[in-house]
Amino acid sequence: MRLWRKFAIGSAAGIVLVGGALLALDAADKAFPPPLDKADMVSPEVLDADGQLLRAFATAEGRWRLKTGVADVDPQFLRMLVAYEDQRFYDHGGVDIWALGRASLQFVRNGRIVSGASTLSMQVARLIEPRAERSFAAKLLQLARAVQIERRLSKEEILDLYLTHAPYGGNLEGVRAASLAYFGKEPRRLTVAEAALLVALPQLPERRRPDRNLQAAQEARERVLERAAVAEAVGDGEADRAEAVAIPMRRMQLPALAAHVAEAALRKQPAVLKHQTTLKKPVQQGLEAVARAAAMKLGPKLSLAMVMADAQSGAIVGEVGSADYFDASRSGWIDMTRVDRSPGSTLKPFIYGLAFEQGLVSQETIIEDRPADFFGYRPRNFDMSYQGDVTVREALQLSLNVPAVKLLDAVGPSRLLVRFRRAEVRPALPPNETPGLAIGLGGVGISLKDLVQLYTALANRGQPARLGDGITGTPGKLDGEPLLEPVAVWNVADILSGVIPPAGAPQRGIAYKTGTSYGYRDAWSVGYDGRYVLGVWVGRPDNSAVPGLTGYGTAAPILFEAFAKSGIATTPLPRPPAGAVRIAQSELPISQRRFALNASGLLVASGREPAPQIVYPPEGAHIDLGAGAGDLSPLMLKLQGGRAPFRWLANGKPLPDLSRRRTQQWQPDGGGYSKLTVIDSAGRAASVGVFID
């Protein structure tokens, strides 16, 4: 009788206390609301374009507390959690009266606490308003808070708070942080063994940490799996199989990708908790793995940077600002994708593109690679040797300096920089200097990001894209005139895709160009296929010389390795546009067989002042302009020599306007044979016959 008297007294006292708390709750609820605002104090996250976690930052108090919702975790885990912690969770209003009575009876019988009566709602109350003491008053407040929380939040919202704030040892809070730290994965797909461990740890998180006390973690997981309600939730035999699975013995680092982008995102929007970027997590992981491996081979104090962008959308899909963000010897905190450096020979493709566009040369035009003096500027090749007569194709593939400067002299340095502005890129000139021929060999400053933005035009038929900053900037195609005409772009790609890959690198069907700045300070390599552009820079952040550093020997192998490890399948380069064809040297017009300038800077052929020559289209050419589809594209006409202005005739009919330019567009009326004629101001004429298909 004495036992039952104690039980009756204990139960009555408990019920009276609960009843009193409930009666007083309405009056106190408005005066003392639960501190739900503290529940929003979570770790800032930086996400990729698909919402995958790239990097998280600890909270102000140093906690890894990742916001987690019911939709973020495995449904099996939720069933196990409720079965083990609070079987009547969906039925009670914050306090489980039956569990409270059971706990009181067990206390009376055993003289100690055998099982708790704490509901998930009560645990949430304790997590968002922790108290050091375990007093009767603290428990009463927890009961009251649980009812307050139930009145304000749905069951799912209460679970969201528990999943975010449950302790898992050390500075880990919440199921996502624990799953990433112990299993290296998001909790959306958990095994029964993994779910059981995550259910068990929050009761005694420090004592049961698997990286500190493996035996205690093992025993706690077994208690979860042996609970009848849990076994029923997971299915027949699953609990037994889960007990045989090994428990992880170490804690892994949470994702820490894209350090520079993540830091920039936090600086730009410090109040935002989730920062969406344009990066792709698999691409970023691949590029960073290549960067780490390359840094070990490069040696001390050298850093590297990479930018990979979608040339069609302008989205930066991968970006590495340095070899190692935390390596002070490499100044790893400096984002070298945004620093202006000398680009070496990487701007040469655009010089050749302009020369192709203006009809100055074709791929098989002969150009001299011999010592030359441009009013005191005497460019020399990288290896100090000269090749003599070479084709334009060979000159670009070998990255010869003298031919590039000759072509830049013909097209004009200012015109080249004007074209760069179409891509919203403005290379930095030395102070108080006007554009000069040194631009072609790296005599300007340009960042890796801007260089990749220029190359998006080569991967996208001449139309550049705006890359944005990968965070808040809006990428996209740039409206307006193309940087280069499609035929010129195709000629450049046709040449660069024939450059031999570095030793040991696979042929990936990409076009690429390398560059080395003066004094061996910067090594560059930029490559592209039909969709993506990847740029690589290697050097010292302090701009010191690095003997032996070259674009082909140092940066190009990293480029090919990064393309392979990015996980992106190669997209074929664009098909030749209408009118694009590689013409054999023997079939070139006389004026295009050899490139030379006279003392006045005029193009000459065989030493004579030139008469007009139609260099495109060539005589007898069949040109596909879509006549069969009934929607004819315009044909670009190009001439060389002659004296402006020029009058063009198509089948004897003059085109509307005189032109001082050496390029003109003609819109055919239909397919078949046409004769094109140009007459210069001196009355000299040239004609070609072509077939429009």
Query: Cα separation of 442 and 516, whole Å?
Result: 8
Calpha distance 584→582 (Å, rounded): 7
Q: Out of 85, 150, 319, 357, which one is annotated catalytic? A: 85
Buried b (16+ CB within 10 A) or exposed e, 401-411: bbbbbbbbbbb
319 is catalytic: no
Q: What SS3 string covers 561-626?
A: HHHHHCCCCCCCCCCCCCCCCCCCHHHCCHHHHECCECCCCCECECCECCCCEEEECCCCCEECCC
User: For residue 33, is the peptide bond before it cis, meaning its omega torsion is within 30 degrees of 0?
Assistant: no
Q: Which residues contact 400 (CB under 8 A, 6 or more apart)?
A: 369, 381, 387, 390, 394
Is the previous residue joined to 645 through a cis bond, with omega within 30 degrees of 0? Answer: yes
Rounded (10°) CA dihedral 203, 207, 208, 213: 180
CA-nearest of 574, 557, 573, 551 to 506 is 557
- What is the distance between the alpha carbons of residues 391 and 403, in angstroms, rounded to a whole number? 10
Centre a 10 Å sphere on the Cβ of residue 445 and count the other Cβ atoms it contains.
Answer: 15
Query: What CA–CA distance (Å, rounded) separates 29 from 19?
Result: 15
Instruction: Find the radius of gyration of the CA atoms of the chain.
Output: 36
DSSP helix/strand/coil, 329: helix
Report which of 507, 488, 484, 636 is spatially closest to residue 563, judged by C-alpha positions.
Answer: 507
CA distances from 35 to 30, 68, 320 (A): 12, 19, 41
Task: Kindly give, in sequence order, each residue whose CB lies less than 8 Å from that of residue 535, ignoring residues fewer than 6 positions away.
Answer: 306, 307, 308, 448, 449, 451, 452, 455, 524, 525, 526
Are 444 and 416 a contacting pair, CB within 8 Å? Answer: no
Report d(CA 680, CA 660) in Å as an integer.
10
Catalytic: 85? yes
- Which among 127, 108, 128, 106 has a CA at the least distance from the CA of 117? 106
Which of 345, 399, 591, 659 is flagged as catalytic? 345
Degrees, nearest 5: CA angle 121-122-123 = 90
Residues paired with residue 594 on neighbouring β-strands, in sequence order:
366
List, by residue number, the catalytic residues. 85, 345
